[in-house]
Chain A
Amino acid sequence: GDSVTQMEGPVTLSEEAFLTINCTYTATGYPSLFWYVQYPGEGLQLLLKATKADDKGSNKGFEATYRKETTSFHLEKGSVQVSDSAVYFCALSSTGNTPLVFGKGTRLSVIA
């Protein structure tokens, strides 16, 4: 079945450091890929998405590129802020009708 593997945390960075959170997937066909963010005490919210190979999703300084050849969708940000501290989830959907499959989440802590 479909699955998502993302790097285990927690990840602790200093403010203005470069962030990479790795995400790889296994799926049939050509899934859509997502990154969700969960701030403390809140539900998940969509951060960015990509629906086909080589697409780059971006939002709030975060970026991720859909790499079909390496089945990856790594999340990057050039300069993190304390306000980026949250849990980040990678997810996929094989078709428009199937439930999203989530990775286990990566907790990011950014210190000033």
Chain B
Amino acid sequence: NAGVTQTPKFRVLKTGQSMTLLCAQDMNHEYMYWYRQDPGMGLRLIHYSVGEGTTAKGEVPDGYNVSRLKKQNFLLGLESAAPSQTSVYFCASRFAGGEQYFGPGTRLTVT
């Protein structure tokens, strides 16, 4: 099992550019999450999904969109990147009530 994988690992964007971060899990988990991690702020939930075809907003959803067209994939989109979106992004997945598994992270810099 690969667990939770994230693509890409690193990315540099210019302000206004768009991109999509891909998260994939091979554990058949229903729930998937996108977090951002900033120094001194801990982890903040951006969006999450409780099943294929469903998404919900987390604590800091503005400027991001997500899609869950397949159970194993959860995509995070930035339509028009801003320097405030410079961060490390983590994806996670779990069964209901179970342990949450995290991916290795994507380090995004917006200049």
Known interface pairs A89-B43, A102-B43; A97-B96 also in contact (CB < 8 Å):
yes
Q: Is B33 an interface residue (CB 8 A)?
A: yes
| B45 surroundings in chain A (CB, below 8 A) | 99
The residue that A46 contacts in the complex, of B31, B43, B99, with Cβ under 8 A, is B99
CB of A43 within 8 A of CB of B48, answer no
For chain A, give the interface size range: 20 to 34
Residue B13 lies at the interface, judged by CB distance under 8 Å to chain A:
no
The answer for the CA separation of A102 and B35 in the assembled complex, in Å, is 11
Q: Is A44 an interface residue (CB 8 A)?
A: yes
Q: Specify the chain B residue showing the minimal Cβ separation from A32.
A: B97
Q: In whole angstroms, how far apart are the Cα atoms of A46 and B93 in the complex?
A: 12
Q: B residues 79-105 with Cβ under 8 Å of A?
A: 90, 92, 96-105
Say if the beta carbon of A42 comes within 8 Å of chain B: yes
In the complex, the answer to whether B99 meets A44 with C-beta atoms within 8 Å is no
CB neighbors of B among A3-52 (8 A): 32, 34, 36, 42-46, 49
Contact residue among B33, B42, B101, B104 (Cβ-Cβ distance under 8 Å from A99): B33
A43, B105: Cβ atoms under 8 Å?
A: yes
User: Is the CB–CB distance between B42 and A96 below 8 Å?
Assistant: no
* A93 smallest CB distance to B (angstroms): 8
Residues of B within 8 A of A43 (CB): 4, 90, 102-105
Give the B-binding residues of A (Cβ under 8 A): 32, 34, 36, 42-46, 49, 89, 93, 95-97, 99-100, 102-105
List 5 A–B pairs whose Cβ atoms lie within 8 Å, in order of A's numbering: A36-B102, A46-B101, A93-B97, A99-B33, A103-B42
